[in-house]
Amino acid sequence: MRDSVRLEETGYASAGAGRRPWSCGSVRQGLFASAFFAMAFAAWADTYYVDANNGNDDWDGTSETNVVNTTTGPRKTLAAIVAVAKNDGDVIVAAPGTYGSGTCNSDAVVKSRVEIPAGVTLKSKSGATQTFIVGAVADKGDRNGKGCGLHATRCVKFASSSGQVEGFTLCGGRTAHSTTSGASDQDKSGGAAGGAYGKIVDCIVSNNAEVA
């Protein structure tokens, strides 16, 4: 009986031509470490809220509704909420509405309604048919026939491939046109989503224009 117990707790894993011992204790330690790091990661991740109709960019974004006589409540614009929701694993929940104001301006000549930080997920509460991210055409004096040009606004830009947008209609996005002074190739592409290739999930993409 004692030998059978030892066999359950000790075995061998192949290592090239030889064998190396492993123990259930080592496996348990590895599982414990994995669980610990998973819990630590979850502890750093937060959920934030944005509401185009009832939010306020002076609020902290940590609550779905405003706590009376405090600054606790949803922010109004996507640009404002990603200023606080920027850690890997953070989730932003957007209330139904049209997000068509506020911009992130990391590109030289094209703005973005929102730029998703690395590892951050922006998702709607009620789905793409009720939640809209709307871009904008370029300045009148530098606009081509499709509305592309200087200071146009795309809907979404990703800071890295680990960002995600879920459950929105992305519409009205524009970028620079081929002759816009100072425009990079990145400025000229991605009417709906530019920059790195993040994930777009359960979204409707409509009425956007770009110059690739």
11 pLDDT higher than 80: no
pLDDT of residue 129: 98
More confident residue, 3 or 33: 33
Per residue in 73-90, pLDDT (tens digit) is: 999 999 999 999 999 999
pTM over 0.85: no
Which of 90, 115, 92 is closest to 102 using CA atoms? 115
What is the residue type of 91?
Answer: V
Dihedral angle over CA of 46, 80, 129, 107, nearest 10: -110
Long-range contact pairs involving 58-61 (C-beta distance under 8 Å, separation at least 24): 60/84, 61/85
Q: When comparing pLDDT for 4 and 191, which is higher?
A: 191
What angle separates helix 2-9 from helix 24-44, to the nearest 10 degrees?
40
Higher pLDDT, 34 or 186: 186
Give residue-wise pLDDT tens across range 16-75.
344 444 344 444 454 444 444 444 444 578 999 999 999 999 999 999 999 999 999 999
